[in-house]
Chain A
């Protein structure tokens, strides 16, 4: 039985290590400015924790291998020195790892977006994402979903028709962004909690009703990336998708123009 158990542990080690090296599915390529740092931290994490995983299982295996059938067992109540050494070692390892992660967090959260950041208001509803751009005046109009929201009349967010700032607001169902410029998102929700998840940008933020949550990132590569919802929001949670289109600055300007026309004509 000891040998079978040893083999099983060996199998687990090898299978897990193989699985992570072969990784049939894996992170999508990171395309935001902070993705490199995050991916580096992930690499550190997987190496460190992977090593501990292997070491722990090898130790478990050795302890089983040393099991004896007969003969005297050393009677021991423990060893304080070993215990203390292990505690210090593991504390240093984990807290060192933690400090590195915390530094990354401060870079992501406590650096303000650049002043030329694109301002986009993201609103989650069951089960659709809406992205609102301020238009030429750079100001978002007031909204009141309870009074004005009529998805069938092209006003799903309930922009106040009497607010001049809202006249040139444009609402899109996909997030279009210029490459290399910060984007400052304001996340909101009109019904339940949603979570904007852009795996390629290493970005996720809940959209909580009653709150306006700011979050920013900077896309670094053009292309189209998927957005999913990462907070259970009801029956259609699994199909609450949208996409980010990262385009060149010129294309972005053109897109803004093309979107502005119909809404100013309204």
Chain B
């Protein structure tokens, strides 16, 4: 974010809570909305968008911690086992999984594709919103909606694909309530699916915005925030996939 110097005219204070305060260069108002010299209007779409982006970033941190918690439990459990005194090493009781790699890669491709299509939608809508704040009303608001629809289809495809993966594993005799490797597999992928479904719900909400009378501005913010969240979900998926692959025992 560019740093504005629009407020240097204010009298610099002599005393700050922590000694003389600095004011000449500060961020947080003015900002890049081309609106220098006026304090930030927190209900402007620009400001809301920035806030939602921060919110999504923070939420991603929180989801990362959730998965780090379970992921570290996975790594620890995988290395556990009774100590064999004669051999001087641990006896592994971990039962490795036979991951259905073909299915998993197919799902991954679907997820990447959905990320790409959502990015098209996000960028297009962002541009229109920018024009609209400048007072230029773009002729057609809806040109990005097909991209959104495709993303939703891909997302649903990914979830369906995950469901098929679980089915495959179930046929191999891997259950949630069985060996630890299976428990972790279902828990990690299941929680990821739940989080992705949340993103999907927001996309659907944005898509249906027309019928529920939402303003384009709100739809755009929803799509933008979900866009970043969706990319994070894709990254997270590859993190989980890597964990399941490299620490499969």
Contact = CB atoms under 8 A, between A and B. Distances in A.
Q: Do A and B bind each other?
A: yes
A36 to B, nearest CB: 33
A212 B82 CA distance: 9
Interface string A69-80: 000000001000
A interface secondary structure, majority: loop
Closest 3 CB pairs of A and B: A77-B19, A77-B18, A212-B83
B interface secondary structure, majority: loop
A212 B85 CA distance: 12
Contacts, number: 3
A79 to B, nearest CB: 12
A146 to B, nearest CB: 15
Interface string B6-28: 00000000000011000000000
Nearest to B16: A77
3 contacts: A77-B18, A77-B19, A212-B83
Interface residues on A, range: under 10
Interface residues on B, range: under 10
Contacts of B18: 77
Interface in B68-85: 83
Interface of B: 18-19, 83
Interface string A13-26: 00000000000000
Contacts of B83: 212
A112 to B, nearest CB: 15
Nearest to B19: A77
Nearest to A75: B15
B57 to A, nearest CB: 34
B86 to A, nearest CB: 14
A165 to B, nearest CB: 14
A11 B201 CA distance: 62
A214 B204 CA distance: 58
Interface in A186-215: 212
Contacts of B19: 77
Interface string A136-163: 0000000000000000000000000000
Interface in A204-234: 212
A117 B135 CA distance: 87
Nearest to A77: B19
A125 to B, nearest CB: 20
A78 to B, nearest CB: 8
A209 to B, nearest CB: 13
Contacts of A212: 83
B20 to A, nearest CB: 9
A69 B83 CA distance: 71
B127 to A, nearest CB: 49
A89 to B, nearest CB: 23
Nearest to B80: A210
A119 to B, nearest CB: 13
Contacts of A77: 18-19
A167 to B, nearest CB: 21
A77 B18 CA distance: 7
A100 B83 CA distance: 33
A77 B21 CA distance: 12
A77 B16 CA distance: 9
A213 to B, nearest CB: 11
A77 B19 CA distance: 6
A116 B18 CA distance: 65
A77 B15 CA distance: 9
A212 B83 CA distance: 9
B203 to A, nearest CB: 45
Interface string A57-84: 0000000000000000000010000000
A91 B133 CA distance: 56
A126 B46 CA distance: 62
B178 to A, nearest CB: 18
B81 to A, nearest CB: 10
A77 B83 CA distance: 59
